[in-house]
């Protein structure tokens, strides 16, 4: 692939916080309840990598097609989440069913409940490696590059307003979201490091 770096890349991780952090330097985003994925795109060549650095393309064949048609940059690397929506909420169980050895079953499930990709970070654009660029600048670049993206590929919402983040935390739980992520705007992308904070809903059996 004609990119400044090749897969696999260890994704940047988050450490658990028991309360919503505050600070002018934080960017808040919803925490999606799906499969973490890095997308490498070079023309029509698509490679989807899992959190544990394994290929995911065979389990989400329809997403490969969607990513080619989504008005993404010709060459880029994105970090984000694969999700499936059933009704008005995220369906993590439907994602788990995709990890199946039978190609015919994966194809059937893809037709019944197609997946979507929610992007939240831009790690490379063309020949440019953006991993050393501060988070805040990467977010701005991501918004520009995904301004015309089409479903089922989406740009995740982001805010610097802690009160908005708290509302997301409270209101989105019913839709199956997992909480909120807080990212310092000054940090580069740190593969394998717990450089972000996650505030998760406490679910009881």
Parse the chain into domains and list their residue ranges: 13-200
83 in Cβ contact with 90 (< 8 Å): yes
Q: Alpha-carbon dihedral of residues 180, 174, 152, 112, nearest 10 degrees? A: 140
CA atoms in the 13 A half-sphere facing the CB of 95? 20
So what's the pLDDT on residue 205?
A: 47
38 in Cβ contact with 67 (< 8 Å): no
So what's the pLDDT on residue 111?
A: 97
Catalytic: which of 15, 31, 41, 113?
31
Low-confidence stretches of the chain (pLDDT beneath 70): 203-205
So what's the pLDDT on residue 203?
A: 57
So what's the pLDDT on residue 173?
A: 81
The residues, ordered by sequence, that sit 6+ positions from 90 with a Cβ below 8 Å of its Cβ are: 32, 33, 34, 83, 84, 175, 176, 177
CATH number of 13-200: 3.30.470.30
Residue 31: active-site member = yes
For residue 174, count other CB atoms closer than 10 A to its CB: 9
pTM of the complete model: 0.95
192 in Cβ contact with 38 (< 8 Å): no
CA atoms in the 13 A half-sphere facing the CB of 31? 22
């Amino acid at each position: 692939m004609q990119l400044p770096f090749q897969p696999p890349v260890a994704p940047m991780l988050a450490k658990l916080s028991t309360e919503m952090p505050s600070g002018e330097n934080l960017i808040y985003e919803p925490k999606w309840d799906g499969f973490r994925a890095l997308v490498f795109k070079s023309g029509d060549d698509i490679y989807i990598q899992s959190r544990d650095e394994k290929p995911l393309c065979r389990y989400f064949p329809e997403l490969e097609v969607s990513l080619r048609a989504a008005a993404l940059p010709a060459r880029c690397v994105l970090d984000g989440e694969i999700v499936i929506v059933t009704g008005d909420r995220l369906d993590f169980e439907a994602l788990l069913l995709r990890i199946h050895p039978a190609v015919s079953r994966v194809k059937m499930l893809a037709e019944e409940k197609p997946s979507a990709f929610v992007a939240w970070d831009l790690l490379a654009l063309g020949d440019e490696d953006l991993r050393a660029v501060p988070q805040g600048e990467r977010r701005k670049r991501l918004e520009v590059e995904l301004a015309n993206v089409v479903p089922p590929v989406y740009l995740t919402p982001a805010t610097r307003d802690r009160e908005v983040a708290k509302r997301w935390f409270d209101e989105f739980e019913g839709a199956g979201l997992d909480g909120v992520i807080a990212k310092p705007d000054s940090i580069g992308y740190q593969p394998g490091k717990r450089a972000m904070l996650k505030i998760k809903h406490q679910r009881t059996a």
